[in-house]
Structure 1
Amino acid sequence: MNTVKPDGIALLCLTPGGVALAKRLRTALPMTCFTREGLVEDGFLPFDSSFAHQVQQAFTRYSALIFIGATGIAVRVLAPLLVDKFHDPAVVVIDERGQHVISLLSGHIGGANDLARQLAGILGVDPVITTATDVNDVAALDTLACQLNARMDNFRAAVKTVNQMLVSQRRVGLWWDESLTDTVSRCDRRGFITVTDLQQLPQLDALVCITLRDTLPELPIPHWKLVPRRIVAGIGCRRGTSCSVISALLLRQLAANRIDPLALKAIGSIVVKQDELGLNQLASDFDVPFEIFSVAELREHEHRFPSSLFVKKTVGVGSVSGPAAWRLCNGHLIGENLREQGVTITLGVTH
């Protein structure tokens, strides 16, 4: 899925008309505007050597690109850079008179469709959106995954299959854990058939299950599990503990609480562990942030957990995993702490 990039929107324009339109747009939406050297004015940056080179830089740096100009020019300069819709930034093209706002790339996961709608609203025109689910007025599995911050095994294949079923008016059910009701109710579910009981399914061609569970009961139809990233893990460990040891213990702790590993949202520890190779590799392997907390931040919640004099003398606070998990999930801890092989793990769930 699309990698989070450090900056938001880059706008690129090549003509005086494009600069004029860019000035209208940037008053309503934060963005970094680029144009060629001869057109630069306050609030604009010059292209870095050339238009093509600037596009190449922006493609990897920004989460969304807006081109003001011809669609053909945008396509030609972007073509060598494209990876797939799961990684490419959102791309929107606007003609310099502001009459057409076209969602060109990464409409769902990248957010180009929503950006096109927003820009069209600013300009008072209709967006040009061609993705099949939007044209057929149904939701999309990849959009739902983004709204839920969720993951899925074999995501690419599932998106292709489920979205095709939805636009073909096949009966695709949607079931979710009761604890996720508030979140799911705010998502786009057009075209899905709500399922309330997995033991009594209506007539369906397929089913998408939104859950944190590691397993589901056997189901008689094709089904996919969409797993929101809600689980956090506070972790303390001896210096030099290998990633393989920490990973095995974390997986065991997740399994003990019947949680799918895809639900992991973040891990956290104390500041002295910020360069701990095992923890950094763990975060990379699970593709989650590694959140670091100061001694003072953890001390605020130290009293809630059993304290170790050895740990306190070593790092300045008597407990690491519990306070770290508490801060990551605002106190919504789950299960029992794991303490083994010099590793402590505390799990929590975000809401």
Structure 2
Amino acid sequence: MNTARPESVALFCLTPGGVALAQRLRSEFALDCFTSEKLLQPGFIPFGGSFAQTVEQAFSQYSALVFIAATGIVVRVIAPLVCDKMHDPAVVVMDERAEHVISLLSGHLGGANELTRHLAEILDSDPVITTATDVNQLAALDTLAAKLDATLLDFRQTVKTVNQMLVSQKRVGLWWDRDFAAHAKQYDTRGFIPVDDLGALPALDALVCVTLRDVLPAQTIPLFKLVPKRVIAGMGCRRDTPSQTVATLFSQQLAANHFDPLALRVIGSVTLKKDERALLDLAQHHQVPFEVFSVEQLAQHEHRFPASEFVRQTVGVGSVSQPAAWLLSHGNLVGTTLREQGVTITLGVIDRC
């Protein structure tokens, strides 16, 4: 998924005026500036082959693209590249006199709206943002999800439904689980109706709940869970353990700790397991990274946990799942470690509010 805070920005300029404006922006924040050979300045990158070819490469390599060019030119060059709002980078367009900065693509999830406002502030320009929630000075569910690094079941349709309800002046409640309530004021929630108690709802048309829980009290109105990706899993298993066995035990461990599977952020293990099919399959199924640690890294925290001589002889360290979970969660482990059928699973939670 793309991000609401672009980490890598490519800027394209096609005219001498555009190059001058790019020079001004380079002094304010980090970006890679691309231009033609004849306009090349120190620190700029020449187009590789052609303008269109360079844009095509950048579209998949950068989280945001900024063009100092006519909107029509930009639309034509990115049209064959556009996929969907979940993966497209932010695209922002501005004129070389910096009168207008336009959020063109991926306004919410990609962060184009936020980047547009930032650039307009630097240049004292007019930000042009046309997304319905922003025009109506309302929060957007996809923006909130991106800021929280959270996801939803049937993300695309749920975002469309909730945002449409907001701009249609429907009453959409927003409830924060206790782990997140203290940080709620950090986020843009304009248009949502605050909810403090799931057992005593005000009059609402729908409810959004920010939570890691797998189950919430049943409601008589549509309920949508916004699930921050905060749960980590340290894991170990015997070589060639069946993928289904690992998947079943992992589901049991999540359920035992009342975590929604969508809350999973990363799975970790020891380097020896980097090619373990069951762990790779599990990470792929949940669409999360699989991170491995060296024996030396795990050994630094081995003293905190019970050790197994069998595991030490096999792996080189007396415990795998617990030290891995400790490293991934910065020491914030939860529940007890599952040990069944040669599989160990330790869960933790990270704080990214």
Fold agreement, TM-score > 0.5: yes
- Give me the whole-angstrom Cα distance separating, in 2, the residues matched to 1:4 and 1:238: 40
Please show how residues 213-292 of structure 1 align to structure 2 within 5 Å: 213-292=213-292
2:316: which partner in 1? 316
1:190: which partner in 2? 190
2:296: which partner in 1? 296
1:181: which partner in 2? 181
Q: Cα gap change, 1:46/1:126 in structure 2, threshold over 3 Å: closer, same or farther?
A: same
Is the partner of 1:185 in helix, strand or coil? helix
- Contact kept, 8 Å, 1:5 with 1:62, in 2: the verdict is no
Q: Cα gap change, 1:55/1:94 in structure 2, threshold over 3 Å: closer, same or farther?
A: same
The structural deviation recorded for 1:2 is: 2.6
Is the partner of 2:285 in helix, strand or coil? helix
1:105: which partner in 2? 105
TM-score under structure 2 length normalisation: 0.96
The structural deviation recorded for 1:84 is: 1.5
Q: Deviations over 1:209-262 (max 9, x none)?
A: 111111111101111111111100000111222332222211110011111100
Please show how residues 47-58 of structure 1 align to structure 2 within 5 Å: 47-58=47-58
The unaligned stretches of length 5 or more in structure 2 are: none
- Give me the whole-angstrom Cα distance separating, in 1, the residues matched to 2:179 and 2:55: 43
- Give me the whole-angstrom Cα distance separating, in 1, the residues matched to 2:47 and 2:83: 23
2:205: which partner in 1? 205
Q: Deviations over 1:305-331 (max 9, x none)?
A: 110001112222100000110111112
1:35: which partner in 2? 35
- Contact kept, 8 Å, 2:150 with 2:226, in 1: the verdict is yes
- Contact kept, 8 Å, 2:214 with 2:260, in 1: the verdict is yes
- Give me the whole-angstrom Cα distance separating, in 2, the residues matched to 1:267 and 1:337: 14
- Contact kept, 8 Å, 1:4 with 1:63, in 2: the verdict is no
2:138: which partner in 1? 138
- Give me the whole-angstrom Cα distance separating, in 1, the residues matched to 2:5 and 2:139: 25
The unaligned stretches of length 5 or more in structure 1 are: none
Q: Deviations over 1:110-152 (max 9, x none)?
A: 0001111111111112311111111111100000101111111
Is the partner of 2:334 in helix, strand or coil? strand
**Aligned-partner residue type, residue 76 of structure 2:** R
2:61: which partner in 1? 61
Is the partner of 2:186 in helix, strand or coil? coil
The structural deviation recorded for 1:281 is: 2.4
- Give me the whole-angstrom Cα distance separating, in 2, the residues matched to 1:57 and 1:146: 24
- Contact kept, 8 Å, 1:5 with 1:61, in 2: the verdict is no
- Give me the whole-angstrom Cα distance separating, in 1, the residues matched to 2:20 and 2:277: 50
Q: Which runs of 4+ in 1 moved over 3 A?
A: 3-7
Q: Deviations over 1:139-166 (max 9, x none)?
A: 0000010111111111111111111111
- Give me the whole-angstrom Cα distance separating, in 2, the residues matched to 1:182 and 1:62: 33
State the superposition RMSD in angstroms. 1.6
Deviates more, 1:120-129 or 1:277-286: 277-286
Is the partner of 1:310 in helix, strand or coil? helix
The structural deviation recorded for 1:6 is: 11
- Give me the whole-angstrom Cα distance separating, in 2, the residues matched to 1:346 and 1:30: 39
The structural deviation recorded for 1:191 is: 0.7
Deviates more, 1:305-314 or 1:275-284: 275-284
The structural deviation recorded for 1:4 is: 10
